[in-house]
């Protein structure tokens, strides 16, 4: 089983102020799909993600209210993770042999992305300069991060981590956001690598064990991701997740709340 990073956050020297926010949520459902997951959005409001139907798992693009399916040629599974302002899309696919590969879809052309010597590759983010970030897996299934810039792969390693991935890079190609596994306590944290190449850890504030994941950073330095409150580090993937926005060291929780007409009495899990 691959040690895919569950998720984490970012803790600045500033005292974080935690407060709730009220957002307007819009439901996204690919037509006739059994499940739809939105993974990325660009400055024009285009959205990419993946959906499941009776034929398998496919990527999608939602532009101006119109859905388009994304299937890498010959793939058994395709998932789109991110797109830039130009409309270039990055993601990953699984081939007929069960191997994961990253991909870039640009101007209608699909290009396979493979980190040299890796057993699998995922492309997770693409900026407006065309830099691609993501992760690759070694023979043991451990995940490590990369930046693909000007056709050259560059390793990204967080000091003190046993696994990591990068979710997004700013257009300068130096400032990055992602998640890592801490070797000291076994917990998952987010990180931001700044212009000077220094790593800052992101940990959602609160008592107890909190798994935090950083998934995106914009040009202003705002970070979004998700967090989970757990009893032990191994629960990060299965625990209930909450979204967050971190801006200038302050955290905003983002939780979908159903409308009053659709709310049902809470029930304990059986």
Three-state secondary structure call for residue 234: helix
Q: Which fold has domain 18-26+33-257?
A: Methylamine Dehydrogenase; Chain H (2.130.10)
Residue 236's pLDDT is 86
Hey, what are 45's tokens? 């409001």
**Per-residue model confidence (pLDDT) at position 18:** 46
The separation between CA 218 and the C-alpha centre of its own chain, rounded to angstroms, equals 13
The residue extents of the domains of the chain are 18-26+33-257
Q: What is d(CA 40, CA 215) in angstroms, rounded to the nearest whole number?
A: 10
Does the model's pTM come out above 0.85?
yes
Cα distances (angstroms) measured from residue 237 to each of 31, 47, 57, 188, 217: 28, 24, 20, 10, 22
Q: What is the pLDDT of residues 38-97, one digit of tens each?
A: 999 999 999 999 999 999 999 999 999 999 999 999 999 999 999 999 999 999 999 999
Answer whether 223's CB lies under 8 Å from 216's CB. Answer: yes
Residue percentage of the chain with pLDDT more than 90: 82
Strands 132-137 and 77-83: unpaired
- For residues 146 and 156, the answer to whether their CB atoms sit within 8 Å is yes
Residues 176-203 have pLDDT tens digits of: 999 999 999 999 999 999 999 999 999 9
């Amino acid at each position: 089983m691959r040690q895919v990073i569950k998720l984490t956050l970012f803790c600045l020297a500033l005292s974080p102020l935690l407060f709730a926010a009220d957002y307007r949520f819009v439901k996204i459902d690919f037509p006739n799909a059994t499940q739809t997951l939105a993974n990325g959005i660009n400055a024009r409001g285009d959205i990419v993600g993946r959906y499941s139907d009776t034929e398998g798992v496919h990527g999608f693009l939602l532009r101006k209210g119109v859905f388009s399916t994304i299937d890498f040629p010959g793939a058994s599974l395709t998932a789109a993770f991110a797109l830039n302002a130009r409309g270039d899309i990055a993601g990953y696919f699984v081939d007929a042999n069960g191997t994961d590969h990253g991909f870039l879809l640009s101007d209608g052309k699909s290009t396979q992305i493979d980190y040299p010597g890796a057993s699998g590759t995922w492309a997770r983010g693409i900026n407006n300069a065309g830099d691609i970030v993501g992760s690759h897996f070694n023979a043991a299934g451990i995940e490590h991060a990369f930046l693909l810039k000007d056709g050259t792969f560059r390793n990204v390693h967080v000091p003190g981590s046993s696994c990591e991935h990068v979710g997004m890079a700013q257009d300068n190609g130096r400032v990055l956001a992602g998640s890592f596994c801490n070797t000291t306590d076994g917990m998952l944290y987010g990180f931001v690598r700044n212009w000077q190449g220094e790593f800052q850890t992101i940990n959602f504030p609160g008592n107890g064990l909190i798994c935090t994941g950083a998934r995106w950073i914009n040009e202003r330095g705002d970070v979004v991701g998700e967090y989970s409150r757990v009893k032990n580090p191994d629960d990060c993937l299965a625990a209930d997740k909450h979204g967050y926005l971190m801006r200038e060291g302050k955290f905003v929780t983002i939780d979908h709340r159903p409308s009053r007409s659709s709310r049902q009495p809470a029930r304990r899990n059986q």
